[in-house]
Structure formats: structure tokens, C-alpha cells
DNA sequence: GTCTATACTGTGATAGAC
DNA sequence: GTCTATCACAGTATAGAC
């Protein structure tokens, strides 16, 4: 009972620390802040952070886990309309692209090995795997199961997002190409055209 | 005269330091080594490095510059056969992919913002721009000038390379998709099929 | 001119008092 | 759980030998 309360308080503190870490990362870069700075942000001393996290890497691990869980939850909202596979893929691509380009540091943490020596924990890795499985399941629903096709798709999407973030942050130079890329891909895998939408009136 | 000799010696030392920095980066990661370690590698003391480079960032800058110059030189060797634009693009893509995936740390330094606070100097930036212009010129030679098309191509290629490096280092899971990607792209921009090759005999 | 020696500030991390 | 004190190491900079 007491333990539950204590644990909940500790969880809340952990949450607060992670939120502050995201904030600092946005301002100073993912590797541009120290534990002393982070502690200052939440009104603690640096060693106290070790009561909540084993190391600085453990904080990154929690952030990594949170980011992949967020993507997993987002991808659960993508409705797959098997009658309109092309529209479904296009919508999924747009949604993924918007998520990925919304936060540079999140993209870096999820997709690039920007923190030297950081390896996600098994738990954090599982979150990323779960997200990927969500994605494969939705492709399977429209008949795309070939690993090479999935790999080509991940490459195209990640390339568009990383170029957008690196060369036109905040713009839409590569965002505009998402639909083209989706169509290219659909043609490549031999998806039939979606049936025409029946407009009412 | 004396100055020339001295300058040449200094250049040779700089070269040696940069080579050692690449070596350390391969072993420990781009951000995984200190100036003291680097100095040890070349038989100097850390402060001595400041006789050759203004700062650690200046060393990264020299590496960045070297890497982009190497790509620029490589792309100068890509022959563009205007009679066979598809084969030319395919060959260029393969060559670029091989270069990019050959060294993880080089790719990170060139294409990802892995070193916090590092901005390439105007000279180093110019090297990357020169490389890019080489690339646009070769596309122009086969009639591809639309910025959106060039952007789509850079996104596809960089996506393939980064996925290869991140998820199958040393393998060929994404390398196998390079030809497919090139063909997709050629279809998209409306390149005609290459004429059949006349085999002799 | 190039080096060694040294010092300054800040880092992640640990030990132990309370 | 939170703190003070401390550690080894980092990047950086200067003084001074030769």
C-alpha cells in the first residue's frame, strides 16, 4: 500500500525527468546537455537522478522506449481499407512522415545511432519491434508480404523523412514527395488501382 | 623555401592526425574518443594538436571535407552514357551506395548531425556542394532536371544506405534493392528503356 | 615554431551522512 | 531519497623550455 504510493510518486518523478530531458534535447541537442543541467531543470541535484535512473544511458533508454511506444500507438490508429489499399498506404505514409519529422531529436534517437555506446535495452528494443510488427501486419492486410518490398518501403520513407529534417527543417520540400513515393511503390508491388470514389450528389 | 618545407611537414602531420582520427572513430565511434587519445595514437601530447588544428571541431571539419572530396572524386569517374541513361543511373547508384555503406562513421559524419554543435566550415560545406553539383550535372545530362525528381532520388538512395548501415551492417539486404529503386525511379521520371545491348558473337 | 607541463572548468558516476 | 564531497576524465588554454 505505502509501496504503491511511493512507486507512483517515483514514476511521476521519472516522467518529469524524461519530459525535461526531451525539452533540453530540443534546445541543446540530444547530446548537448549534462545531468547537472537536467537536474537543475527539475529542481534536483545531479546525484539524485541516480535514485531514478541507473545512468544517463538509462534516461535515453526511457526516451527511446517512449518514442517507439508513441509510434506504435499512432500506427494502431491507421485504418486499413482493403478495398482501397493505395489510399491506405498513402495515409499511413503521411501519418508516419508527420510523426517522424515533427521532432528532430526524436527521429535521431529512434533511427540514428547518435549517442555513442547507447544500445536500447531489451524492453526498449521490444517496443520498436512491436511497432514494426504493427506495420508488417498492415501491409499483410493488403497482400504485401515480400520482405524486399517492406524493406524498400522503409528505405523510401526513412529517406524522405531524414532528407526533410536535414535539408529543409520545418519545410515541406520532401513532404510533397510522399504521395509520389507511395504511388511508385504501389505500382512496383503490383497493387491494382483503387476503385473510383463515388461522390454523392 | 624553408617555409615550404615546414609547411609540407605540417601538412603531413595534419594528414597523419586525420588518419588516426578516422581510425579511432571506426573503433570507438565518431564521438567516442578524446584529444588525449588521438594524440597518443600519433605519439604527441594533446596540446600539441592545437598547433595543427584550432579545435576538435576543426579536426571533424577536416574529416568532413576529406570525405566529401572523396565522394566528389568518385562521382567524377561515373561515365554518363546518354544512350543508356538507365544503365548510367543504375551504375551511379551502385557506386554511391558502395561508397556510403563502406564506412559507417564516414556516412554519419557526412549525412547525419552526430556531433553536437558541429557546423562545417564554408570550405568544407563547399566540398559537399561541389559533390552535389556533380550529381545534378550528371542527371541533367540524361534530361532529368526537375528538383522534385532529384530530391526523390536523394531520398531513396540515402534511405537505402542508412537502412543498410543501421539494420544489416556488412550485409546486402538493402544493397539488393538498389537496382529496383533505380528502375522505379527511371519509370517515374519517364526515361525510355535503354536499347538492347548487342552481344558480339 | 614546436613541444612539455600544468591548470581551469565541467562531465558522468560513486560513497556515505542524514 | 536527497544531499555534500569526491573521483577520474574530458576539452581547452597558457606559460615556458629548447
Nearest to A155 among B29, B152, B160 (CB): B160
Chain A residues whose beta carbon lies within 8 Å of the beta carbon of residue B180: 148, 152, 188
Query: Is residue A121 within 8 Å of residue B120, measured between CB atoms?
Result: no
Does the CB of A112 have a partner CB in chain B at under 8 Å?
yes
Q: Distance from residue B47 (CA) to nucleotide C8 (C1'), in Å?
A: 14
C-alpha grid cell for residue A69?
511506444
The answer to whether residues A121 and A57 touch, using CB atoms and an 8 Å cutoff, is: no
Q: How far apart are CA A177 and CA B200, in angstroms?
A: 43
Could you check: is the Cβ of residue B143 within 7 Å of any atom of nucleic acid strand D? no
What's the gap in Å between the CA of B86 and the closest CA on chain A?
A: 17
Residue A201: pLDDT band (50, 70, 90) is: low
State yes or no: pLDDT of B1 exceeds 70: no
DSSP chain B: -HHHHHHHHHHHHHHHHHHHHHHHHHHH-TTS--HHHHHHHTT--GGGGGGT-SSHHHHHHHHHHHHHHHHHHHHHT----TT-HHHHHHHHHHHHHHHHHH-HHHHHHHHS--STT----HHHHHHHHHHHHHHHHHHHHTT---HHHHHHHHHHHHHHHHHHHHHSTTS-TTGGGHHHHHHHHHHHHTPPPPPPP----
pLDDT in tens, B142-181: 999 999 999 999 999 999 999 999 999 999 999 999 999 9
| One domain, residues A47 and A62 | no
Question: CB–CB of A44/A53 below 8 Å?
Answer: no
What is the distance, to the nearest Å, from the Cα of residue A51 to the centroid of all Cα atoms in its chain?
28
- Give the range of the structural domain holding residue B32, as residue numbers without chain letter: 1-53
Query: Residue B136 in contact with residue B150, Cβ under 8 Å?
Result: yes
Q: How far is the CA of A23 from the C1' of D6 (A)?
A: 30
Q: What is the mean pLDDT of chain B?
A: 94
Residues B19 and B61 placed together within one structural domain of the fold = no
Indicate if A64 and A41 belong to the same structural domain. Answer: no
Q: Average of pLDDT values for A178-185?
A: 98
> What is the rounded average pLDDT of the residues A134-143?
95
| Size of the A and B interface in Cβ pairs below 8 Å | 103
A177 belongs to a structural domain: yes
CATH number at residue A42: 1.10.10.60
pLDDT for B4 equals 78
So what's the pLDDT on residue B79? 87
**Can you give the pTM of this predicted structure?**
0.95
* pLDDT confidence bin for B193, thresholds 50/70/90: very high
Q: Which ranges constitute the DSSP H helices of chain A?
A: 2-28, 35-41, 56-76, 85-102, 104-111, 122-141, 147-167, 178-189
pLDDT tens, residue by residue, B39-89: 999 999 999 999 999 999 999 999 999 999 999 999 999 889 999 999 999
Q: Mind listing the pLDDT tens digit for each residue in A40-89?
A: 999 999 999 999 999 999 999 999 999 999 999 999 998 899 999 999 99
A81-85, A171-175, A195-199, B20-24: least confidently modelled range:
A195-199
Mean pLDDT of chain A: 96
Nearest by CB to B159, which of A30, A113, A155? Answer: A155
| Pair A8, A60 in one domain | no
- Residue B114, in any domain of the structure: yes
Q: Are residues B39 and B61 in the same domain?
A: no
Name the grid cell of A52.
Answer: 531514478
Per-residue pLDDT band for B198 (boundaries 50, 70, 90) equals confident
Residue B114's closest CA among B25, B14, B21, B18? B25
Specify the higher pLDDT residue, B10 or A124: A124
Mean pLDDT of A176-189: 97
Q: Which nucleotide is nearest to A50 (CA to C1')?
A: C13
B111 with A173: Cβ contact below 8 A: no
**Is there a single domain that holds both residue B68 and residue B14?**
no
Residue A1 confidence (pLDDT) above 80: no
Residues B19 and B78 in one domain: no
Residue A195 lies in a domain: no
How many domains are contained in chain B?
2
A45 in the same domain as A125: no
B200 inside domain: no
Could you tell me the CATH number of the domain that includes residue B167?
A: 1.10.357
Q: CB contact, 8 Å: A165 with chain B?
A: no
Confidence band for A200, pLDDT divided at 50, 70 and 90: low
Amino acid at each position: 500500500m505505502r509501496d504503491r504510493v511511493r512507486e507512483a510518486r517515483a514514476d511521476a518523478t521519472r516522467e518529469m525527468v524524461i519530459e525535461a530531458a526531451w525539452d533540453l534535447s530540443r534546445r541543446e541537442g540530444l547530446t548537448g546537455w549534462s545531468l547537472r543541467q537536467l537536474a537543475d531543470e527539475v529542481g534536483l541535484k545531479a546525484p539524485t537522478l541516480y535514485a531514478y535512473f541507473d545512468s544517463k544511458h538509462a534516461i535515453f533508454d526511457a526516451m527511446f522506449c517512449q518514442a517507439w511506444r508513441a509510434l506504435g500507438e499512432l500506427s494502431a490508429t491507421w485504418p486499413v481499407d482493403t478495398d482501397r489499399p493505395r489510399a491506405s498506404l498513402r495515409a499511413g505514409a503521411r501519418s508516419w512522415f508527420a510523426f517522424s519529422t515533427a521532432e528532430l531529436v526524436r527521429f535521431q534517437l529512434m533511427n540514428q545511432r547518435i549517442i555513442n555506446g547507447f544500445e536500447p535495452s531489451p524492453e526498449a528494443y521490444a517496443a520498436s519491434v512491436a511497432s514494426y510488427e504493427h506495420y508488417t501486419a498492415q501491409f499483410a492486410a493488403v497482400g504485401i508480404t515480400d520482405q524486399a518490398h517492406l524493406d524498400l518501403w522503409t528505405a523510401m520513407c526513412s529517406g524522405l523523412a531524414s532528407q526533410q529534417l536535414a535539408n529543409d527543417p520545418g519545410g515541406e520540400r520532401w513532404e510533397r514527395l510522399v504521395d509520389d513515393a507511395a504511388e511508385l511503390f504501389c505500382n512496383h508491388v503490383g497493387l491494382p488501382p483503387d476503385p473510383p470514389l463515388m461522390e454523392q450528389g
